[in-house]
Structure 1
Amino acid sequence: MKTIADFEVKTGSGTQISLAEKAGKVLLVVNTASRCGFTPQYTGLEGLWQQYRERGFEVLAFPCNQFGNQEPAGDAEIATFCDIHFGLSFPLMSKVEVNGAGAAPLFDWLKGEAPGMLGTRRIKWNFTKFLIDRAGKVVRRYGPTVKPKKLSRHIEALL
């Protein structure tokens, strides 16, 4: 059975990393976009990161341009935007696809482990969130309308 440690991803700076490096941490994996109505959730994600990072929590944000062309920029421009507008300090990964034939293997796995409403595997919009426990298993999927602060008690339970 796979865990998140079985995947490799590319950071926003282009470095390939193994998610095995995140073993033992509670993770929140999110597909993001800079021009979305949910973009202000970056503030809440940063708040969670600041509140829980010393206890072994990390946010992994994956920009995605598959929903309404809301993330057309490249990785460097995305990082600059997030720094200027939200002061983000958690890791921004390289832009990915989350649905379709070009979907990142990590997101195919996440969707399979935690399907959406009515069993759909498709991610419907930006800021879909997946909570991963310390063993690297998907605990829960949250829709885009669920604000980050609502995840606090679930994160606390895993820490």
Structure 2
Amino acid sequence: MDLSQYLQFALGKQEYAIPLCYIREIIKPLEIRNLLGAPDYVKGITKVRDEVLTIIDLHRKFGVDAKERTGGEPRIIILDHGNACLGLYVDDVIEIIETNSLEAVPAIVYFGTISQIIKLEDNILPILDIERLLSKDVTAWLNSEEKSEPLIE
């Protein structure tokens, strides 16, 4: 069985992973401009090499208290997803994992934005389902005409 690559990151006291194939780059946080009228989970916009990116705050998206940070250095994970390119604001990027030790998510536990679980030697690591993470509410807002003229705070 082939090995797949995942980026392990921290969000509050928990750690998660994203398939590496979705990730364009990882950057240190830049100045982020708030957008009035944007959904609560949209942290704002920032400019990266002449490209304006929407930044999604995973704390807000998943209801994680930002005060639960356990250290590390915040990062923006830039994703390429179809026609959309956006950033995920996370507490820390930990490492790249190569594994084929995956397990399905028990439906009785949770089947929202988690696609699979990586079994580590001494832990488990949920893998975010990018398709579900960028659910209809996110992509609808990103592609909406209402968003075309947001007010910048």
Q: TM-score range by the shorter chain?
A: under 0.3
More relative contact order in 1 or in 2 (CA 8 Å, sep 6+)? 1
- The structure with more helix, counted as a fraction of residues: 1
- The structure with more strand, counted as a fraction of residues: 2
How high is the TM-score relative to the length of structure 1? 0.24
